[in-house]
A and B are shown apart, each in its own frame.
Chain A
């Protein structure tokens, strides 16, 4: 589904991604781990299409289609979703209105009519229940005055509503208490299917106790230096990242 080949990305003069290769197939969950500054957030931003980065080499394709040719909106319409580490506050726009607009814009781009109001309402009810979100919360301004946990839950709620093909969870576990972590992970697990894929970007292993990865990749200094199964995450948790650095430098 997602194919990243020899991806190099820079911001101004600083090269951050130095040749990433990654293939994610439908139905898979991939975890990308690594120390601070390894390029984890850059990778998710580049997949989602943030314009600050210059792609100097390599490519990204989704189901065979070149993503680099598309702007962030078009990528979203193709089914790319990224849960933000720091979701942005938008005063005056309610959660409900925002998600309705997002869904209908996506449908429009894919040649569909607006979602009927009744269906929309039903879906909102179903997904907010899944993520244990209070109905009152939905009429509040998007992310304004939300706690860290509420913001993250709201991100996953939006993901549940949009049903993306590829979901990238960028440090979704940061700032979550154990209850919120359970709710968020449960939401992600319920949405997993054989037709979609999830990339979990995280510094710590604890989220992976709840969302079981099929593959774990270690990102270090702009490259994927190690790939393994779920046990690699446990090893990293136990031993830290220093041994990876040593291995790379050896």
Chain B
């Protein structure tokens, strides 16, 4: 049976596990109908021109985990940023792991969507925010139809959340193939600040497909820093759909570190609903073998006097392929917009491919919009220079790649995250530089 049919026919089973007499369920069933009409995206859709899901849709995915899976902290410690104090919301095969988590209701809510959906005290927040910014395209509609579990983060106004929140979804690989659909809802109140680190991680090389949806709402003067670490097995694929809705005077940043996975698609959407908003989208992509990463960004400038900054760096070796599709829409009312987009790529091998496509739709006449895209190789003269000083070629190449990616790391505000990314990059490039950049 094809995956689409399998999903549709399993819906009754899904409904047995959730409250079907709720407003949320109306949203779900509506989304299911949309997915039924739309189906999975194909390359015929302009937005999916360079990314085919065919190779991952043919797996026979297990849709609902059959049993509770326990894992020991020591076995997965390395996937945490473990050298800092943090809140943790951890899922194993889609099920909440209270053992690995550290949640709170003390002043802020760092907990589970499943409990937020049922508890009366969260009713208003769910009504006001759930599914309010997610656009119901193919994959988001599918996630919404089955939305039942994920991280729920609700920060009241004037709150500086003093430690980062880590959201990690582990896949044990106990099934031959697993489909996971986490749904995260993050609401940051007026004048509050939060830092979030998200990771999807398989523990074996059994196939995993994750179709995640995250909605982030930043109320007036809120500040959100979001870090996505993608460094999964070559058998794990991720379709990440993130929607960030910003009210006036907010600063929100999303850093995406794509260092591994079979097919990774990042649909990252920012909506600026008030004046003096700053949206920051940054990414480092380092791929090898046949890995494929597709960054599909949208910044929607709706109000005047706002800014957006996009900076994506990619390094592609072997037969890996990358896509950067960066769309910036500036509405007629959005005068004095300052939108900046930069996408630089280095191809290490002749067989690696990058498809870069900036898309600017500007309807206002008093704006500053810049975009730049480069595709190149490592600078031979720079390599020679470093070799001449006694640095071996491999290290020299790594150093150059570090230097190349450095502008993205500069804006990472959690030093331990920065150090971890540095380490992951060094490991990926198979070098030990003996110092951090």
Interface residues of chain A, those whose CB is within 8 Å of chain B, are: 48-52, 71-73, 75-77, 80-82, 84, 86-88, 90-93, 97-106, 109, 114, 158, 162
B385 & A87 in contact (Cβ 8 Å cutoff): yes
Contacts of A88 in B (CB 8 A): 379, 381-382, 385-386
- Closest A residue to B385 by beta carbon equals A88
Interface presence of B368 (CB below 8 A): no
Nearest Cβ on chain A to B334's Cβ, whole angstroms: 33
Measured CB to CB, the closest approach of chain B to A9, in angstroms, equals 15
In the bound assembly, the distance between CA atoms of A71 and B49 in angstroms comes to: 44
Contacts of B384 in A (CB 8 A): 48, 50-51, 72
Q: Is B414 in contact with chain A by the CB < 8 A criterion?
A: no
> Given contacts A51-B384, A72-B387, are A91 and B392 in contact (CB under 8 A)?
no
- Interface check B390, CB cutoff 8 A: yes
- Most A CB contacts (10 A, CB to CB) among B381, B384, B434 go to B384
Which A residues touch B400, using CB under 8 A? 90
Chain B window 388-426, contacts with chain A (Cβ cutoff 8 Å), 1 for yes, 0 for no: 111111011001101100110000000000000000000
- Bound-state Cα–Cα, A106 to B390, Å: 6
Q: Contacts of B434 on A, CB cut-off 8 Å?
A: 100-101, 104, 114
- Closest 7 CB pairs between A and B? A92-B406, A72-B387, A76-B390, A106-B390, A102-B389, A88-B385, A92-B403
On chain A, the residues within 8 Å of B382 by CB distance are 88, 90
Residue among A50, A52, A91, A105 making CB contact with B395, cutoff 8 Å: A105
CB closest residue in chain B, given A86: B381
What residues of chain B have their CB less than 8 Å away from a CB belonging to chain A? 379-382, 384-393, 395-396, 399-400, 402-403, 406-407, 433-435, 437
Q: Which residues of A contact B385 (CB under 8 A)?
A: 84, 87-88
> A32 vs B222: C-alpha distance in the bound complex, in angstroms?
65
How many Å lie between the Cα of A70 and that of B396 in the bound state? 17
How many angstroms from the CA of A203 to the CA of B108 in the assembled complex? 71
Partner of A158, one of B379, B380, B389, B406: B389
B437 touches A105 (CB 8 A): no
Knowing that A73-B392, A90-B399, A99-B389 are A-B contacts, what are 14 other residue pairs whose CB atoms are under 8 Å apart, sorted by A's residue number? A51-B384, A71-B387, A73-B388, A73-B396, A82-B388, A88-B379, A90-B400, A90-B403, A91-B403, A92-B402, A98-B389, A105-B390, A105-B391, A158-B389
Contacts A91-B406, A92-B406 known; A73 to B381 CB distance under 8 Å? no
Cβ distance A125 to chain B, nearest Cβ, rounded Å: 19
Across the interface, B388 reaches (CB within 8 A) one of A48, A86, A100, A104, namely: A48
User: Are the CB atoms of B388 and A76 closer together than 8 Å?
Assistant: yes
Q: Which residues of A contact B381 (CB under 8 A)?
A: 86, 88
> Bound state CA distance, A73 and B379, in angstroms?
16
Q: Which of B385, B396, B437 has the most CB of A within 10 A?
A: B385
